[in-house]
């Protein structure tokens, strides 16, 4: 491949991901076409297929980018466990925080989850990506427990699942009832109690 194309590849990929995020959120994963994504990014179909084989693969790339941001945010919170807030409250604050892209990502990931439930092959790949995200979260949680002088009462992978479920369940309700149930409210109210319920003194 010519050197110029190699240098441009990360930028091309990033622009396609940004275009896909907007297009999927506005149109829906299934309704969105590769042509729409390419047009929004300012590229041809050739540019798309030089980076991704399918729309599913494009979604997984978006998943990985979002997962990296989640892990970065958790690492930032973990580094402050010995600060002014109790560790359980810090985790609650993390799970309740809402970023500018969170609503769009929730729309996309929810629709893709339904797609995966109906499609066993997609489910296997999505489950693998979910497992990798939890694997990245587990050492962060372990460090937070260590800093707090506590031990997890159950496997850390299960705690990661619980936090994700609380986050996604709360977001679903808040996006349906934004005025009555603001984003992050459920996580903020119950997150600390949930974390305390799965912690115990070190032996």
On the question of pLDDT at 74 being above 90, the answer is no
> How much is the pLDDT for 6?
56
> Which residues touch 48 (CB under 8 Å, ≥6 apart)?
16, 34, 37, 38
Q: What is the pLDDT of residues 180-192, one digit of tens each?
A: 888 888 888 888 8
Percentage of the chain lying above the pLDDT 90 cut: 57
Say if residue 4 is in the same domain as residue 94. no
Asked if residue 99 and residue 67 are part of one domain, the reply reads yes
User: Is there a single domain that holds both residue 106 and residue 134?
Assistant: yes
| Residue 5 and residue 39 in one domain | yes
Domain holding 90: CATH number? 1.10.357.10
pLDDT class for 3, splitting at 50, 70, 90?
A: very low
Residues 108 and 27 in one domain: no
Query: Is 151 strand, coil or helix?
Result: strand
pLDDT digits (tens, 9 = 90+) for 96-135: 777 778 889 999 999 999 999 999 999 999 999 999 999 9
Q: Is the pLDDT of residue 40 over 90?
A: yes
Judged against a pLDDT cut of 60, whether residue 14 lies above it is answered with yes
Are 69 and 155 contained in the same domain? yes
Q: Are 149 and 115 found together in one domain?
A: yes
pTM summary value: 0.84
* Domain span including residue 107: 54-201
- For residue 199, what is the DSSP state? E
What's the CATH number where 37 sits?
1.10.10.60
Shared domain for 38 and 98, answered yes or no, is: no
Confidence class of residue 77 from pLDDT cuts 50, 70 and 90? confident
H/E stretch holding 152 reads strand 150-152
- 143 and 177 inside one domain: yes
61-64-70-76 Cα dihedral, nearest 10 degrees = -120
Count how many domains the chain has. Answer: 2
Residue 84, pLDDT score: 55
30 and 79 both lie in a single domain: no
- 2 vs 169 pLDDT, higher one: 169
Q: Are residues 22 and 119 in the same domain?
A: no
Residues 91 and 189 in one domain: yes
With H, G, I as helix, E, B as strand and everything else as coil, classify residue 125.
helix
pLDDT bin (cut points 50, 70, 90) of residue 83 is: low
Across the chain, mean pLDDT equals: 88
pLDDT at residue 4 greater than cutoff 80 = no
Using an 8 Å Cβ cutoff, are 62 and 20 in contact? yes
């Amino acid at each position: 491949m010519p050197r110029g194309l190699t240098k441009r590849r990360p930028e091309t990929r990033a622009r396609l991901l940004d275009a896909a995020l907007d297009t999927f959120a506005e149109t829906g994963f299934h309704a969105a076409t590769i042509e729409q994504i390419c047009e929004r990014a300012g590229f041809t179909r050739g540019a798309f297929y030089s980076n991704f084989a399918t729309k599913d693969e494009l979604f997984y790339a978006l998943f990985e980018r979002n997962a990296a941001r989640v892990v970065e945010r958790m690492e930032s919170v973990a580094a402050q466990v010995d600060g002014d807030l109790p560790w359980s409250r810090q985790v609650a604050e993390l799970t309740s925080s809402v970023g500018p892209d969170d609503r769009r990502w929730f729309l996309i990931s929810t629709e893709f989850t339904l797609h995966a439930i109906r499609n066993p092959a997609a489910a296997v790949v999505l489950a693998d990506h979910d497992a990798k995200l939890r694997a990245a979260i587990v050492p962060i949680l372990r460090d937070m427990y260590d800093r707090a002088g506590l031990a997890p009462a159950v496997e850390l992978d299960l705690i990661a699942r619980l936090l994700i479920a609380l986050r996604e369940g709360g977001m679903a309700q808040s996006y349906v009832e934004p005025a009555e149930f603001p984003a992050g409210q459920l996580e903020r109210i119950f997150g600390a109690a949930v974390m305390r319920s799965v912690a115990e003194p070190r032996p």
